[in-house]
Amino acid sequence: MRWEHLAAPPVEGSPPVAAPAAPLLPLALPGATVRTFDTPGFAGMTFYEVRAKSIINRVPGTSRVPFEWTVNPYRGCSHACVYCFARNTHTWLDLDAGADFDRRIVVKVNAGELIRRELAAPRWRGAPVAMGTNVDCYQRAEGRYELMPEILGALRDFANPFSILTKGTLILRDLPLLRQAAEVTRVGLSFSVGFVDETLWRTVEPGTPSPQRRLDAVRTLSDAGFDVGVLMAPVLPGLTDTDESIEATVAAVAAAGATGVTPLALHLRPGAREWYAAWLAREFPRLVPRYRELFGGGSYLPAAYQRDLVARVRTAARRYGLPRPGVVPTRPLAPAPSPSVNEQLTLL
The burial class, CB within 10 Å (0-12 / 13-18 / 19+), for 12 is exposed
Mean pLDDT of 79-93: 95
Q: How far apart are CA 112 and CA 150, in angstroms?
A: 5
Q: For the chain, what are the domain ranges?
A: 1-10+17-192
pLDDT digits (tens, 9 = 90+) for 108-130: 999 999 999 999 999 999 999 99
Determine how β-strand 46-50 pairs with β-strand 104-108.
parallel
Q: How far apart are CA 237 and CA 239, in angstroms?
A: 5
Q: How far apart are CA 64 and CA 318, in angstroms?
A: 28
pLDDT digits (tens, 9 = 90+) for 232-252: 999 999 999 999 999 999 999
93-94-95 Cα angle (round to 5): 90
Bridge partners, residue 203, by sequence: none
Q: What is the DSSP letter of 60?
A: P
pLDDT at 64: 62
Q: How far apart are CA 111 and CA 117, in angstroms?
A: 10
Contact 150, 217 (CB under 8 A): no
pTM for this model (two decimals) = 0.86
Contact 141, 173 (CB under 8 A): no
Mean pLDDT of 180-184: 98
